Structure 1
Amino acid sequence: MEALFKQMEDFAKENKVPIINENGRKVFIEIIKKYKPQRVLEIGTAIGYSALLTTYYGAENAKIISLELDEERAKQAQDFINQSAYREQIKIILGDAAKNIEKLDKNYKFDMVFIDAAKGQYPDYLQKVLPLLADDGIILADNVLFRGYVMSEEKPPRRYKTIVKRLREYIAMVSDTDKFTTEIFENGDGLALTKRLKTN
């Protein structure tokens, strides 16, 4: 697998495909090793890199449903996945993630949801995945600090204004201590690990 991961990292670099960066990756892998998720929902496949990391480091028979909007990326991801031993464990669903989340079976509960797609949609994704999350499930969201702008007093460039606003909303939502516990790892571009609190 190391050769395949290296191939994917090189491809992502050459083609400017955003994958979880080196610093964030270390934290991501540690979390996967710790929680060993069995049923995973991934929002944003890109080239399939994080899906393969999850199957490689996660539970032995982990099953991943990965949602991807871009047809070209989905094809590229499938090509890489087909080169691995995990091709039967990862299913890519093409189309708008927000719509496809709502079509998923509500009785099938996920141990982990990984959000790494359109940053401006994070609050919406969160609301939509909560009914699908197992009681002791976790939500991981990448890029929540978005280039340092989210926690900065400095005004973001106009083109990032909405993204930064929505990511702040997302952080505020998962920081609601009546509902969640959230830890934000600043490695990489900010990885938020959220657990839902049990209600009596």
Structure 2
Amino acid sequence: MENESTENRNQARIAIMELAHMISVPMSLNAVVRLNVADAIWQDPDTCPPRGHQGDPENLQRILRMLTSYGVFAEHVSKTPDSDTSERQYSLTEVGKTLVTDSEGLSYASYVLQHHQDELMRAWPLVHEAVVDPTLEPFVKVNGEPAYSYYGKRPEMNGLMVKAMSGASVPFMKAFLDVYDGFDGVTQ
């Protein structure tokens, strides 16, 4: 193994630590979706953290700052009038805007929530077992049945899945149809 103090080894250690901590990103996304932060910023961009937000503003700031480092929000620091203190405010980036609910009630927020349901999260630690025994499905092992039958018996989960898939696919299809001219000249 190469010398432990080389720049490559130092970068490798930093990279593995970042990978090991990556769960903080999806869980923070999950938190801002549950707290409706993107919709609140969209509705009143001059106040973030949103006015009347219940909960600890310092913890929300930590989440927002972390997600800022991943391009979900943009942070703005300004001096408070008549004071030497500064105030942090956040705005939505293009990535953050995907979490805003549109006029049809769709966004990627449902997609985030769907991918972080407890039933799915409990299966992830067992992924290595699917390598050892390819007949094993981690979701089945922790939930007792395959995902689609499990969802089919739980209307709230099935509804979230439908909303998540609509929130992800409808914007893509609209964008596709805006530029696709293959239907030009087609009549009924």
Fold shared, TM-score > 0.5 on shorter chain: no
Judging by fraction of residues, say which structure has more strand: 1
TM-score scaled by length of structure 1: 0.29
Larger Rg: 2
TM-score scaled by length of structure 2: 0.30
Judging by fraction of residues, say which structure has more helix: 2
